Amino acid sequence: MGMQQTDEQVDIVDEEHVVGLSGAALFAALTGALAYLSIPYPLSPAPVTLQVLGVFLTATFLGAKWGGVSAVLYVQAGALGAPIFAGGGAGLGTLLGPTGGYLWSYPIAVALMGWLAYGQLGIGSPSETGTTRLVAALAAGTLVIYALGTAQMMVVSDLAIVEAIWVGAVVFFPAEAAKIAAAVAVVRSGAVPDWSAEGIASRR
């Protein structure tokens, strides 16, 4: 009996790693693809992109741990030269430039959003998470993204704090609210499969 339980626990752990790693790679690629949809924004040095929508979806479907891994993979791949940052940008120059703080923030923001949404490190089930809780988690992650993004923009571009907050954060809030709504709509539509253990079991 003890041996059977041990084998089952090993199978569950192995499956979690397979699902987590494959999900991390998939959502890192999705975030990179969405980053190509970039529009210059006259009110800020940073463009308007759908990149953050990818970050929201990563946190929502992969949770804190594997979502964080995905965000790290995304930033590392871009740093090594993969053209997956906003508008096809890449390299350390982008990470160290005025908009680099947004990119650095992604792993932290994803981990926070995943934890707030599910109260655990592992992959949670979006369908079992209330809309209010999900929106609150994504909003908290947005604040992290714009806090770090604004801080680096202020330093690199030598902006006063009020100006940096305005051009680095406030002018983007309507767009981010729309992305949060879009992420929640994707979750509620069921268009993306549930990556949690419960969701996978229900599809077998």
| Average pLDDT across the chain, whole number | 89
Low-confidence stretches of the chain (pLDDT beneath 50): 1-3, 7-10, 12
CATH class of 10-199: mainly alpha
- What was the pLDDT predicted at 203? 59
Domain range list for the chain: 10-199
- What was the pLDDT predicted at 10? 45
Tokens representing 125? 């089930």
Residue listed under structure tokens 């908290």 = 140
126 three-state secondary structure: helix
Provide the 8-state DSSP code for 47: P
- What was the pLDDT predicted at 196? 82
Predicted structure pTM score: 0.89
34 three-state secondary structure: helix
Residue listed under structure tokens 């929640």 = 184
DSSP string, 92-117: HHHHHSTTHHHHHHHHHHHHHHHHHH
Provide the 8-state DSSP code for 203: T
65 closest CA partner among 11, 104, 102, 119? 119
- What was the pLDDT predicted at 35? 93
- Give me the count of residues in the chain: 204
Pairing of strands 38-39, 48-49: antiparallel
- What was the pLDDT predicted at 3? 47
102 closest CA partner among 82, 77, 85? 85
Q: How far apart are CA 125 and CA 90, in angstroms?
A: 33
